[in-house]
Structure formats: structure tokens, C-alpha cells
Amino acid sequence: MSLTVLTSAYRLRSICRLQRIQGHMMSSQVEPGVLLEKVGSAGVITINRPKVLNALNLPMIRQIYPQLKKWENDNETDIVIIRGAGGKAFCAGGDIRAVTEAGKVGDPLAEDFFREEYILNNAIGTCRKPYIALIEGITMGGGVGLSVHGRFRVATEKTLFAMPETAIGLFPDVGGGHFLPRLQGKLGLFLALTGFRLKGRDVQRAGVATHFVESKKIPELEKELVDLKSPSAEDVSRVLDSYQSQSNLDSEKPFVLDKHMSDIDRLFSSSSVEGIVQNLKAEGSEFANKQAETLTRMSPTSLKITYKQLEAGAALSLQDVLVMEYRLSQACMRGCDFYEGVRAVLVDKDQNPKWKPSTLEEVSEQAVEQCFSSLGDKDLTL
């Protein structure tokens, strides 16, 4: 085949890819990806892409951010509530398929998505008005970023939380480097490296949610919140506390990781990911073996980046963490594991990624360090 034909074919593929990316970006205009309403004295954000589990894309971020800032400075708005439509998911994560497609062809979406998403995460974390996230259903990745930095996070028995990024060659971003190391003991590092899923009341017990309220009580809770007259954060807290005290579902069941917490603290207290894997293998219990096996499936580069991200993030402000994570996001866009992970898990779904490098030992300290390097004038500014 001639070079001209090959070049044309490649160009055509790139154009088709860009059209697909633009399609992802335009799709929100057909059925709005986000509904923004004022109900009583509350600003209510509804993530409205139930067919794709409310996956977050750039047009949605660009709608939410200015509205949140407006409500924060509006004397007529007392609280902000964020919720997901459809009942299955609050938000299952960012629309990263569109991001990897963009990264392959050098489209600026690969920078813009992460930058603007992290700016929104920071706005939620610094919001002066009580911010209440009703995290019913699947809440992962980007969905965690829309909720966990807010003052109040309400889980129900339908909540499913995870930060599964190491399985796709990424890292637990959206401020994961801030909230994860602040969970009890080594729980955050465990959740970050393994992508372990927490359900229902356990999301609150772990400290990811502030409250647990039974699903059937949520409509009534929402009504009571929007009807509050000039509420303070304490008023909101009192309402949430009262609904939590009426929610006894699963209260007798222990925390799913209860009997493993001391093991997690001990086995995940190592100065390296290799050390953690050695600890798990040497332990030999069913739980330890399962975690060791899980870690062998994750991107070795992602595991090492994540370990260092949480170690650094433990002592940093949310703003400094997001600046660090933006650098990491762009390092992942420059590398190959993120593309391969998305291919294996989300596109071809063969669940068989070929990581490069394929072992922890092959990921040099220098390669990890480089991911944390400043981007100069392209660094995130908050």
C-alpha cells in the first residue's frame, strides 16, 4: 500500500476519532447532561445521564462550575444539593473513553478535562455554603470528586463506592491524594491500590460519607432540606443526623473490613509497593492472598504513582494535591498504560491489559519521580 493511501487512511481515522470526541462533547445538548434548578433556598444540581451511569464529561463540568460559584455568592441561595438521576448511579466516573480518544490525537480535551474537573473539585472543597451530596448508587472516580470534598455526603444502602483507577493505568485522582490518606489507618492506601468496593452503610463507616440514610427516606430528606429557612451548616447537620438516627437498616452488621483493619494497617505499612506485596504474600491468609492477587492485575506504574501520591498528599492542602494530580494526569496521558487499561476494561472488555513495564521491579524510582515534575506554565493554577 502506498504511503499516500496510508497517510489518507490515518488522517480519515483521526477525523472520525475527533468527530467521535466532539460527539461525546455535543451529546449533552440533546438531553441536558446536568439540570440546574433553584428549589426554595437551595441550588439543586442533578447529574442527568442515567443511560451512561451519569458519567461526567467536559460540557457538564462547564455547566456546574459557574453555577456553583454563582450560588455560593448569591444571598438568596443557602445550600447546594447535588444528586444523580435514574436511581442506579450518583456518578460512575469521568467520561475517560473520550479523554483517551483525545489523547491519542493530541486533542486539547486531554488537558482541559482534567484541569477543569480539578478546578471544580476545588470549588466544591472550598464552597462557603453547605454542600450536600446525595451519593445514591454507583459513586466512583469523578463521582467521588463531585461529592467527597463537600461538607456533607449522604450514602444509602444502594451506594457503591470505589476508586478503581489503578486497574486502568490511572491513579485515584479528583483529590484522592487528599481524602484517602486521611481515612483511618492505612484504609485509604488499601482502597487506592486495590480499588476495593465499599457498599451502603460501610461507605459512611469508612469515613467517605458523613451520613447514612435509607433510600426510601431520601425524597423526604430532600424536601426538608430545601424547606429550611436560612440554614447554617449546623442546621443541615441536625436534619441529616435525625434522618440517620431513623435509618436502622444494616446497623447490626459489622463494617465489612472490621476484622481486617489491623491486618490492613500492618500489611500496608511498608516503604514501597513491593514491600506491601511481599507482606501480603508472606501473611498467607485468604484475605491477604486475595489482595496480593488483585495487585498483580493492576498497572505497576499506577501502583507506584498512587503510593507516592498518597504519601505526599497526607501533608498537603487540597489545592496542592490537585496541582500534583494534574501533573500526574498529564504524565498518564504521555504514557501508555492509561490507553491500554481503558482498552482492556472499557473498550474491548477483554480484561487482559498488557502493562508496560509489566512488573513493579521494572518501574524505576526515576520514572515515578518524572510523573511528579512541574509542567511549568502548563501547571494547574487554582
Nearest residue to 325 (alpha-carbon basis) of 200, 172, 182, 129: 172
**Which residues have C-beta within 8 Å of that of residue 59, sequence separation ≥ 6?**
25, 26, 28, 29, 33
**Other CB atoms within 10 Å distance of the CB of residue 183:** 16
All three cell numbers of 121, joined, read: 473539585
165 in catalytic set = yes
Q: What is the mean pLDDT of residues 30-59?
A: 95
Identify the active-site residue in 142, 150, 188, 341: 142
pLDDT tens track for 284-321: 999 999 999 999 999 999 999 999 999 999 999 999 99
Burial label for 147, CB within 10 Å (0-12, 13-18, 19+), is buried
pLDDT tens track for 182-215: 999 999 999 999 999 999 999 999 999 999 999 9
Identify the active-site residue in 33, 94, 103, 200: 94
pLDDT of residue 95: 94
Residues 22, 33, 166, 120: is their CA dihedral positive or negative? positive
Identify the active-site residue in 78, 173, 222, 325: 173
pLDDT higher for 29 or 76?
76
φ, ψ (nearest 5 deg) of residue 307: -60, -50
- The CA distance from 112 to 57, in Å, is 11
Instruction: Tell me the Ramachandran region of residue 307: left when phi exceeds 0, alpha when psi lies from -120 to 50, beta otherwise.
Output: alpha
258 in catalytic set = no
Which amino acid belongs to residue 197?
R
Identify the active-site residue in 101, 165, 214, 325: 165
DSSP string, 296-313: HHS-HHHHHHHHHHHHHH
pTM for the model: 0.91
173 in catalytic set = yes
142 in catalytic set = yes
Radius of gyration of the chain (CA): 21
Percentage of the chain with pLDDT > 90? Answer: 91
In the predicted model, is pLDDT for residue 3 greater than 50?
Answer: no
| Domains of the chain with CATH codes | 34-248+258-378 (3.90.226.10)
Res. 15 pLDDT band, cuts 50 70 90: low
In the predicted model, is pLDDT for residue 52 greater than 80?
Answer: yes
Which amino acid belongs to residue 183?
L
